[in-house]
Chain A
């Protein structure tokens, strides 16, 4: 078998000739000679020795014939062949088979159509599918063969072997008319393109009718063929010493496009750009053009690097992932373009180089073809730069910012990326506003949740907006609404334990919107998206308010607060005070909560409060504040209202402490009113009794004056607190609550209400000095009560003693004795004298009290004047309606004038 293996090619060739022609060895002598010549002259193959390339071509060929199954079969067979590894020149045999391949659908056409393939070879748009044009199917040896045949078989014309194209049809009909049309028709068109190659392939024949022109004159073969061969060789190999040919550069550039270093154009790392080897000789224009083209490779590398580094980064999040995916999509389009270019180049190699005139790949063509892709890549690179280090909504904002361009192509590109990028955000959003679920593992959505917050603070603290993550195409208002919708749903679920889906809210399946919808929604801000959010907002909030009002009686609780903690229920408060008076007069340390609770219940039962719902009354409780030494019960007593569950969201701990402060203040003011009533009562009762003591009238008159001064003050204060503070604020609150669209509105209105009350009741830090004066006024009132009580006590005692004395005197006289003894009379006179002596003391004490009181009131008025709050200024006018204090205190005048001056200047 070794012998056979070593059999010379000639022998094999001869057998082949015999085999194919089906004749004996002798008969095939001509053919054999011809074959030996051809083979001998073309020993070195002109194609690349690449098995893979050849196999790929075969596959392509099969695909082109729409035989996909066969292509698969071929790959399988080829793989088998490779594994066996017996053949050394697999590519060679494969190539041979490929060359001999014929499309079974058009068996008779042995001629490939060259046509003007390059004229429309590359479609402008890189998006469209690559355009593969038909390969030449056969590399036929038409001319020499024809001439040989003519010489050998027919020999009718006796051609010299230099038959021209133009002549051939003429001498055709001679030997055989029937096959002629088959050969001449299409070939006449195609031949010009093929001629040069043929000349190169068959130099020995010397018969080189290369000229496309139908010249009849014999052209000297040896001179023309080397001339045509030389440039091609240079062109193909590019390794000549002189200059690099353009073709070599094109090949290089195509590699560079993919970010692979070429032979001459290499990545220069320190400068981060592609550079052409400066040692390589090259003309300047080529150098310029290729460096311009190399930019594409640089841009590609940049985008590629970003996607490569990011796509593995799991923490980059869904938005980032879809950004990378969109970049990949764009890159894929780019690769498609490259593959078209490559196949073009490949084709040129296949065909040889004879088509250079209009159809080869030149740098200039590349420059034109890659113009659009370059702009796209530039945008992508800029986008990648801009998006560096951003994620989630921030990333979407960044992309969106790039969509604001006047170039419609760029805008379409960015819009497309944006739609992909915003799709996950939209999904988050729908999950959130329809289900209230937050599936944001990578913190990309603009709603953040704090898992450490307990349910009682869910509404206030659990969810918040991540400002940086709000995409720029979503307004702040929308973002807030989105936050509120989801929060409401969660609130309903977790706090109200209400799992029934609100009727009108669309089902969550809507969230399966495609990216396209996402883009439409986000760009059409005025329309669908806005209305969708608005609808969800409206429905959810309304449902939540309904639940709170119906199931949890939010409004009733609000009213109860006002009635009990803000002393709105007058009869109840009065009665409670009546009942509590003896208890609270004691020291604070001796009070017991259970006693007070009992009293509270009694008060409730005795008044209209009993008609309130038991749920509210159950929450009402007594609370004792912290006791400091010397406090009486009045100082530490306080009512309390228990809140829990959903309504605690409105009545927070802060709110309740505000309520308690206000209650404390109101309770104090109420007590003053109560005390003054007592004072007035005792004055009325005692006035008649003490008429008999004219010496007291001066003191009593003083008392009356002071008391009415105080009554006036307290009445005005009460009026101010009740009507100007409580009622006005309450009315505002009630209106707002009625109009509220969501829970936040109610909470805000309630807070405003409390703040207003606190500041108007002088409880905030700004009016501390005012409050101190008011406290002092209250203290004076209490002191006055004590003083007056002492006065009445001693006066009544004296009165009783005098009455006793008179009685004894009368009784004695009736008995017929001396009414009084001298000693008794002197003792009585001394006692009366003593009592009279105490009167000036009382007078001075009262005067002192009055003086202090008036001083405090004047100071209070002065502070009121200077305060910025209008209602407080009005209060000062009301308190000093007849300018009584103003007349007494010169300090009030200038300040008043100053205020007036300021006011007029303001106007």
Chain B
């Protein structure tokens, strides 16, 4: 599954590169870095795609944050359980 996701991501990245040859992806990436959003290349390209399809960015951002928080919590609990 992970490999499938990886290939998927790779394809996404490729398409990004093909699709937006002029948006030097670095532009958005740079902005993202400036703002310290913590998005990597793949996530960013997915987000761009979603936004381009008209997804409400407000909702999207909340989703991303929640996902992160969930991951954090999980990791923390994992750590605690592993330690405990």
A43→B56 contact, CB < 8 A: yes
B67→A100 contact, CB < 8 A: no
A20→B71 contact, CB < 8 A: yes
A100→B61 contact, CB < 8 A: yes
CA distance A20 to B23 in the complex (A): 24
The A interface is mostly helix, strand or loop, or mixed, namely helix
Chain A: minimal CB distance from B63 (Å) = 4
B2→A77 contact, CB < 8 A: no
A89→B54 contact, CB < 8 A: yes
Check A15/B52 contact, CB under 8 A, given A1-B18, A96-B57. Answer: no
Return the contact of A24 from the options B2, B12, B52 (Cβ within 8 A). Answer: B2
List of A residues within 8 angstroms of B54 by Cβ: 43, 89, 92
- Nearest B-chain residue to A4, judged by Cβ: B15
Query: 1/0 per position for B60-81, CB-CB distance to A under 8 A?
Result: 1111111111111110110010
Question: Using a CB-CB cutoff of 8 Å, which residues 25-81 of chain B contact chain A?
Answer: 27-28, 30-32, 34-40, 42-43, 46-74, 76-77, 80
A154→B77 contact, CB < 8 A: yes
Check A70/B73 contact, CB under 8 A, given A4-B12, A9-B53. Answer: no
Chain B residues within 8 Å of chain A by Cβ, number? 61
Return the contact of B76 from the options A22, A92, A141, A179 (Cβ within 8 A). Answer: A179
A12→B49 contact, CB < 8 A: yes
Interface residue stretch chosen among A34-42, A333-341, A471-479, A590-598:
A34-42
Chain B: minimal CB distance from A84 (Å) = 5
List of A residues within 8 angstroms of B52 by Cβ: 87-89, 92-93
List of A residues within 8 angstroms of B20 by Cβ: 86-87
List of A residues within 8 angstroms of B50 by Cβ: 9, 12-13, 16
CA distance A20 to B47 in the complex (A): 12
Chain A: minimal CB distance from B12 (Å) = 7
A97 on the interface (CB 8 Å rule)? yes
Check A149/B70 contact, CB under 8 A, given A77-B30, A89-B52, A96-B47. Answer: yes
A89→B71 contact, CB < 8 A: no
Chain A: minimal CB distance from B17 (Å) = 10
CA distance A6 to B29 in the complex (A): 23
Chain A: minimal CB distance from B49 (Å) = 6
A70→B34 contact, CB < 8 A: yes
Check A87/B48 contact, CB under 8 A, given A20-B67, A21-B67, A25-B1. Answer: yes
Question: Using a CB-CB cutoff of 8 Å, which residues 199-227 of chain A contact chain B?
Answer: 201
A15→B35 contact, CB < 8 A: no
A170 on the interface (CB 8 Å rule)? no
A895 on the interface (CB 8 Å rule)? no
List of B residues within 8 angstroms of A101 by Cβ: 35-37
List of A residues within 8 angstroms of B58 by Cβ: 42, 45-47, 95, 99, 139
A89→B22 contact, CB < 8 A: no
B60→A20 contact, CB < 8 A: no
B27→A1 contact, CB < 8 A: no
Q: Output the residue of A9, A100, A149, A176 with the most chain B CB within 10 A.
A: A100
Check A39/B56 contact, CB under 8 A, given A20-B67, A96-B61, A101-B35. Answer: yes
Chain B: minimal CB distance from A10 (Å) = 10
Check A141/B66 contact, CB under 8 A, given A16-B43, A87-B52. Answer: yes
A366 on the interface (CB 8 Å rule)? no
A78→B61 contact, CB < 8 A: no
List of B residues within 8 angstroms of A99 by Cβ: 57-58, 61-62, 65
List of B residues within 8 angstroms of A5 by Cβ: 15, 19, 49
Chain A: minimal CB distance from B14 (Å) = 9
A58 on the interface (CB 8 Å rule)? yes
- Nearest B-chain residue to A93, judged by Cβ: B51
Q: Output the residue of A58, A93, A138 with the most chain B CB within 10 A.
A: A93
A19 on the interface (CB 8 Å rule)? yes
CA distance A74 to B31 in the complex (A): 6
CA distance A98 to B39 in the complex (A): 12
Check A89/B51 contact, CB under 8 A, given A15-B12, A31-B70. Answer: yes
List of B residues within 8 angstroms of A97 by Cβ: 28, 31-32, 35, 37, 39
Chain A: minimal CB distance from B46 (Å) = 5
B51→A86 contact, CB < 8 A: no
B42→A19 contact, CB < 8 A: yes
Return the contact of B60 from the options A73, A96, A102 (Cβ within 8 A). Answer: A96
B5→A92 contact, CB < 8 A: no
Q: Output the residue of A13, A35, A92, A95 with the most chain B CB within 10 A.
A: A92
List of B residues within 8 angstroms of A154 by Cβ: 77
A676 on the interface (CB 8 Å rule)? no
A145 on the interface (CB 8 Å rule)? yes
A95→B36 contact, CB < 8 A: no
Check A93/B65 contact, CB under 8 A, given A58-B35, A74-B34, A179-B72. Answer: no
List of A residues within 8 angstroms of B64 by Cβ: 16, 20, 100
CA distance A103 to B48 in the complex (A): 22
List of B residues within 8 angstroms of A141 by Cβ: 62, 65-66
Return the contact of B65 from the options A7, A25, A138 (Cβ within 8 A). Answer: A138
List of B residues within 8 angstroms of A153 by Cβ: 70, 73-74, 77
CA distance A86 to B27 in the complex (A): 12
CA distance A179 to B20 in the complex (A): 41
Check A15/B9 contact, CB under 8 A, given A7-B49, A38-B63. Answer: yes
Chain B: minimal CB distance from A20 (Å) = 5
CA distance A38 to B63 in the complex (A): 7
CA distance A101 to B15 in the complex (A): 26
List of A residues within 8 angstroms of B46 by Cβ: 12, 15-16, 19
List of A residues within 8 angstroms of B71 by Cβ: 20-22
Check A149/B73 contact, CB under 8 A, given A92-B51, A93-B57, A103-B36. Answer: yes
CA distance A47 to B59 in the complex (A): 11
List of A residues within 8 angstroms of B74 by Cβ: 21, 153
A100→B34 contact, CB < 8 A: no
A39→B55 contact, CB < 8 A: yes
A145→B69 contact, CB < 8 A: yes
A737 on the interface (CB 8 Å rule)? no
List of B residues within 8 angstroms of A177 by Cβ: 80
CA distance A39 to B28 in the complex (A): 22
CA distance A80 to B43 in the complex (A): 21
Given contacts A16-B50, A102-B38, 19 further A-B contacts (CB under 8 A): A21-B67, A21-B70, A24-B5, A25-B5, A39-B59, A39-B60, A41-B59, A43-B55, A84-B22, A87-B20, A95-B57, A97-B31, A99-B65, A100-B37, A101-B35, A101-B36, A104-B36, A141-B65, A178-B80
What is A's interface to B at a CB cutoff of 8 Å? 1, 4-5, 7, 9, 12-13, 15-22, 24-26, 31, 34-35, 38-39, 41-47, 58, 61-62, 70, 73-74, 77-78, 80-81, 84, 86-89, 92-104, 110, 138-141, 145, 148-149, 153-154, 175-179, 201
A-B pairs, top 3 by smallest CB distance, nearest first, are A99-B61, A100-B37, A24-B1
Interchain residue pairs with CB less than 8 A apart (11): A4-B11, A9-B50, A12-B49, A18-B5, A42-B58, A58-B35, A73-B30, A78-B31, A100-B32, A176-B76, A179-B77
